[in-house]
Each structure stands twice: as structure tokens, then as C-alpha cells.
Amino acid sequence: MREDQLIQLLRERGEEGVEALLQYYGPLMRYVIAPILPDPRDREECLWEVAMRVWQKIHLYDPQRGSWNSWLTALTRNTALNRAQRLEEQSQQLTDTLPDRAPTPEESLLHRERQEELQRAIQRLSPGERMLFYRRYYYLQPISQIARELGLTQRAAEGRLYRLKKRLYHQLKGGSQ
Amino acid sequence: MNGTGEWKDLNQQNLDAMLRQNVPDAPPDAVVRQVTPWRRAANRILFGLFLTTFTVNIMGLHIHLPLLGALLCLLGARLLRQENLPFRWVWRLALVRLVYEVLWMAANTTVYLTLTPYRQIVWALEWGMMAMTIVQLILLWEGYCQVCQRVNMPLNRGATVPLLCLGLLWVLALSLHWFWVLLLLPVGIFFYVLLRLRWRFHKLEAAGYAIQAAPVGLPGTKLTAAVAGATAVGVVCGCLLGSRYPMDWTLVDPVEDPQALEIQTQLKDLGYPAEALADLTQEDLLACEGAWLVVVEEADLPVNEGHTVTYDEYGITRTEQVYDTRELHLTTVAVRLPEQGQAWRVFHHFRFTTSPGFPGTEAVEIFADTMGTWGWLPRSERQGTGRLLYDRQGQTYTTSYTTLEWVEENGNTFLRGTFSLPENGTNQRGYLAYEVDAVYFERPTRLFSHFTYAHQTGRLRFLHRTALDYINASILGRSGPFVTAEGGIDLLSTPEGAE
């Protein structure tokens, strides 16, 4: 099934769209979810949650802003992270003394500015370093997985990541002084 | 310095956490395309298979590109080797192919591949490697189909049919020797299959996310360095150990046949140079029975580089290559035979007057008209005789040419011989001979017999393995470790004699 056909099915709000999404893009979604949720049951539940969110938010997908795979990857990752956060909160005992988790307007502004600064730093990386950064800090993949998929030994992958972090640290820290 | 202090709280301990928290909301499309366990491996395998199969015979690329392709294929295949059985076999075959290409590179620095006993083996290996490529493509496709089935992704096995057709065509061409007839068809199908496979992999790329990449024990850079090192060792060994033809030198038997000795005296009286005459075999002497005319051409030619001399002539600066030594003495002797018509036996002698230098490969070529193109036809079945000789400690040794064969090219015939000179000794020499008869014996016919000698001056060879390769490339003069020298005879044969 072509990508545009799938998107059309989803926009028509039919069940066939969700089935086709899981059939053709299930492996991609599982690939993104796996490093974030270690439990297999959580992964499957998250997969259905992602499918529902795609079905609900398909109207927000704009091909002009990015590819379908990028949009789906971002949606899947955010859903998995939210689920992981919920699971973490459920494992803690809630009390009245816990601080409000919602960011303040100042924190939101700071977060946005940090993102922009980091984005600029990432753009200065080579394509290989950029991919390594996203694998580690966006896809949250373990070193072992990164090493396997790039055809490196674990030690070589750790070395590359160390140099990358060092470089980013100096760029970001130096920009803040 | 950039920035306004957003990262002032950053330190080594919280670096990871802060990077994770502030990563961009969505990855770039280019990153998303690359972050997959499948794409990198598949691209390497497909491109590697392409390089191993389609090469160009320019600047040695037909040897180097397959080695590079085999390495690429292995680097890609090893990531998939634990996914399923077909992928595991793709990896195993890639390993075999890499070992073969390293050995092939080393073998190409030796002279053995050009020798007749090994040509059949070379032919079989080349066809075998082509078959292996087809098998690898089929296994690659089958492996990916199994991945799609595992994740319940609908799949149309369309590429299997063209792949099987390609395999069938290969077998057919091999068995019926229709290679040249079917060359374009398998090539076309192979291109189609490669492009089709790549398109299908792209369309079904989502299934590739289900592949579990296998860990590697040896980094790609170290593997590449190991392959380069092994290849270098093989090449050095090939250059050192395989740069000469194996020659079987024996003491020369003196001519004892009274008739042959009488013919020898007659030829000498007719003007045949004594030094060259002494090298003829008994059979060659007997073939000149009744000879009544001898025409001789001699030349001294250099095989060294000489030196450049600059001088002024009428106000113009000119340069000229000057040779203080001319090591190669060529003697061409045309012997008129006593037959009705115009029958000649042509001898091309060569002799090194000083040490020939590096004892590598040598080659000789005679352009002889035996197809009637220029008015001559072979006189007898006995064509292409000759031998090699040298002296050592007062003894003369002799042997046959390693290869001596007639070759037809573009309506002309060439007699080509290959050999290696001894590493010691003096007066290294040899000759080749053939016979022709004029098509129209009642009228004058030009007899033109051109001789080319290709000499190897150094051990390091790149584009041409042997002196024969150099001659086959139709290169004259000096290029790299090879140099040619030319001579011959050009006379007008008449019923009465020659002019």
C-alpha cells in the first residue's frame, strides 16, 4: 500500500486505516517504542495507543513540514515517553508534598531557547555525528543497539559518543559563558 | 561566543539528562531515513554485488573494483547474518568472495594466469563467481521475504522470477557456449533485477525495522585494514615469486646430421650471418634444403631509457633521446626455398649484446601474412618454430618458448611467443621462423615481416602483468616497466629472386 493511500484511509476514519497502519508501519513503531519501554506488554499497549493517536491526529499531518515517517516517529516517541512517565509516576506513592510538575512560563521559555541552541549545535555536526546524536538522545537507543546497527564494536560506539558529547559540551557551555 | 546563558547550569554530570530533555521535537527526514537496521546493510550489499559483477577493463579497475565490492558486501551482510538462514548464507558467500578476490588480486601479479594449464581454471572460477552473485541475490531477496512474512507484511514475490530467469540464462550460456549471443540479455536482466530489488526494498523498508542487527567483533576499519594488508602481502609475494615463466633449460644438442651440416654451410655461403645460423635447430636447417637466396636485415636497438640531449638548430632548441648502448641485436633472414612459385622461410633472430637486466617476462610477435591478405599463404603445416638459447661457463643451453601460438586479429595473423630469460649467463638469444608461399607466384609480391620484441625492465607492474599483455595492448615504446623494440624485413619477391 502506498503512503498516500494509507493517509487517505486514516483521514476517512475507517478501521481499515488503523489496520493498514499497524500492518505496514507496525515494525517502525515497535522499533521506536522498544528502547523506551522495556516491558513487552507495555510495548504492545503503547503500540495501540500510538495507532489511536495517529487516527485522532491525522488531520495535523502536513507533508510540507516533514515526511510521514518523521511525523509518525515523533508521535510514537512522544506517546512512548508519556507512557513511560505515567508508569514511573504510578510506581511512586503520591503525596500532597510532591511539587507541581507542570512547567512555569519561565521554564517553558528556557526550554524553548535551550532547544534552539541545541538545534544549532546539532546542525554543526557531521551527518554521521548527527545521526549518532539522534539515535542516543532522541530514539534513546542503548549503546549495544547503536553499535550493532552501525557495524561497530561497542567500544568504538562508546568512543564516538564520548567525543560527540565532549564537542557538544564545549559548544553549549562555551556559548553560555 | 554564541548564546545567552541558557546552558549555564550544564556540567559533565547532567550533560546526558539535559541533552535528552532538550532534544528537538522531531528528527530531520534525513536522520529518519538513516536510522534503521536495514538500509545501511542492504545498500552495501547491493552496491558491493554491483561492483563485483560489472567492471571496466581500464586502469586495472576490473581487478580492484571487485575486491572493493566484496569487502562492501561483507560489511553489509555481517549485520544481517543472525536474522535468518538465507541472510546467513549471503554472509558466508560474501566471506568466500572476499577471500577469492584477495587471492585473485595476488594471482594477477603473477604470470601463471596467462599459462595454458591455468586458463581453464580461470575460466571456471570467473563463471563460478558470476553464479555465486546470482545465488546471493536470490538469497538476499528470500531473506527479506522471510522478514516480511514474520511481521505479517503483504508481499509480492515478483523479483524471484527475474532472478531465476537470470540463473537459467547463465546456465544456458555456459552449457551452449552462446556467451556472445546472450551477453546483452543477461546484462540487461541483471540491471533490471538490481534496480527492481532496490525498489522493492525501498517500498518494503518498513519491514526492515523488525530486523535485529548482529553484533560485530571486528570494527569495519580494522577489517578493511586487514584486507588491505593481506592484499598487499599477496601482491608483494606475487611480484617476488611469480614474475617469471618457469623455463626448463637443457644443454643444447649439437647438429650432427651430415645433410643439415651441409645445408648450414650453404646458407653461410649465401650470406646467412654465422652467429645466427649457429642457433638453428637441425629441423630448421633441413627445412632450408635447396635454398638459393638469402636476404638479411640487421639492426641494433636500445631497451634502456637513454638520455636526453638538447641542442640548437637554426635558432630552434631541439631535444633528442640518445642511447649510448643498444642492447638488442635483431637479425631478420629471409631464405628463398627451391619450390615452383615464391616460397620463403623467414627467420627472426634476437640477441642481447649486454645483460638484459631484470629477468622478468619477455614476448615476441611476428606480423606475418599467412591469410592471403597481402599475397601470402602458409607453405606447410610446420609453422612457428624456434627456440631460446644462452651461454654459461662455456656451455650453451636451450629451451622452448613457454607459449607459441598463432593469433588472428582483424584479418591479419600474428605469431606470438612468451618466455623468460635466465637470471645469469650471457649471450641470451633466440629466434622464430615460419614459411610462406606467394598466392600469385608468377608476379612480384611484397614480403613484409614485422618483428616486435617486448622486454620487461622492472618488477613492479600495474596495468600489464606480462610482456605479452603489453604487446596485446598494441603499445609501442616504453611505458612503465615494459619497452618494445621493432625490426623486420621488407622486400619485393619476384620469380627470379628479390629486390
DSSP string, B42-63: HHHHHHHHHHHH----STTHHH
Between CA B398 and CA B409 the distance in angstroms is 31
User: Which one is predicted more confidently, A41 or B131?
Assistant: A41
Alpha helix (H) ranges present in B78-113?
Answer: 85-107
Give the pLDDT confidence score for residue B4 in this predicted structure.
45
pLDDT band (50, 70, 90) for residue B121 = confident
The answer to whether residues A157 and A129 touch, using CB atoms and an 8 Å cutoff, is no
The answer to which of A58-72, B28-42, B463-477 has the lowest mean pLDDT is B463-477
B3, A117: Cβ pair inside 8 Å? yes
Instruction: Tell me what percent of the residues of chain B surpass a pLDDT of 90.
Output: 36
Put simply, whether the predicted model's pTM sits higher than 0.90 gets the answer no
With an 8 Å Cβ cutoff, are B6 and A176 in contact? yes
AA letter at A103: P
Q: What's the pLDDT at B458?
A: 81
Residues A40-55, mean pLDDT to the nearest whole number: 94
Looking up cell 558470476, which residue turns up?
B130
| Residue type at A17 in one-letter notation | G
**For residue B463, what pLDDT band results from cuts at 50, 70 and 90?**
low
Q: Looking at beta carbons, which residues of chain B come within 8 Å of A122?
A: 24
* Whole-number pLDDT of residue A15: 81
Confidence of residue B169 (pLDDT cuts 50, 70, 90): low
Compute the distance between CA of residue B96 and CA of residue B74 in angstroms, rounded to an integer: 9
**pLDDT at position B63 over 50:** yes
Of A27, A111, A119, Cβ closest to residue B206:
A27
pLDDT tens string B310-345: 988 888 888 888 888 889 999 999 999 987 678 899
The rounded distance, in Å, linking the Cα atoms of B214 and A148 is 6
Range A164-177 average pLDDT: 80
Per residue in B333-390, pLDDT (tens digit) is 999 998 767 889 999 999 999 988 888 899 999 987 766 666 777 766 657 899 999 9
Question: In the predicted model, is pLDDT for residue B112 greater than 70?
Answer: yes
What is the per-residue pLDDT for B183?
61
Looking at residue A165, its pLDDT comes to 93
Residue B2 confidence (pLDDT): 43
Phi, psi at B438, each rounded to 5°: -70, 145
How large is the average pLDDT for residues B37-59?
Answer: 82
SS3 A36: coil
Quick check: B220 and A151 CB within 8 A?
Answer: yes
Of all residues in chain B, the one with the smallest CA distance to A64 is B29
To which H or E segment does residue A56 belong? helix A40-57
Query: Whose CA is closest to B75, among B184, B188, B189, B216?
Result: B216
Cell of B214: 548482529
Find the residue in B nearest to A75 (Cα). B26
Asked whether the beta carbons of residue A138 and residue B218 sit closer than 8 angstroms, the reply is no
Q: Which residue of A has its CA nearest to B4?
A: A176
pLDDT of residue B1: 39
Q: Are B78 and B216 in contact (CB under 8 A)?
A: yes
- Residue to test with chain A: of B16, B18, B23, B147, most A Cβ within 10 A: B23
Q: Supply the pLDDT for residue B242.
A: 85
Nearest-angstrom CA–CA distance, B195 and B188 = 11
Report the mean per-residue pLDDT for chain A: 88
Average pLDDT of B8-12?
79
Tell me the pLDDT tens digit for each residue of B199-211: 777 766 777 888 8
Task: Write the residue in A24, A70, A137 that is nearest to B23 by C-beta.
Answer: A137
* Among candidates B29, B210, B219 on the partner chain, residue whose Cβ is nearest the Cβ of A67: B29
d(CA A91, CA A14): 36
| Confidence bin at B217 (pLDDT 50/70/90) | confident
pLDDT of residue A41: 94
pLDDT (0 to 100) of residue B57 = 66
Coil, strand or helix at B46 = helix
Give backbone dihedrals phi and psi of B369, rounded to 5 degrees, phi first.
-85, 105
Range B390-399 average pLDDT = 94
Contact indicator for B349, B332 with CB cutoff of 8 Å: yes
Amino acid at B254: P
Would you list the DSSP string of B269-334? HHT--HHHHTT--HHHHHTTTT--EEEEEEEEE--S--EEEEEEETTEEEEEEE-S---EEEEEEE
CA atoms in the 13 A half-sphere facing the CB of B241: 8
Please say if the pLDDT value at position B401 is more than 90.
Answer: yes
Contact residues for B476 (Cβ-Cβ < 8 A; gap 6+): B452, B484, B486
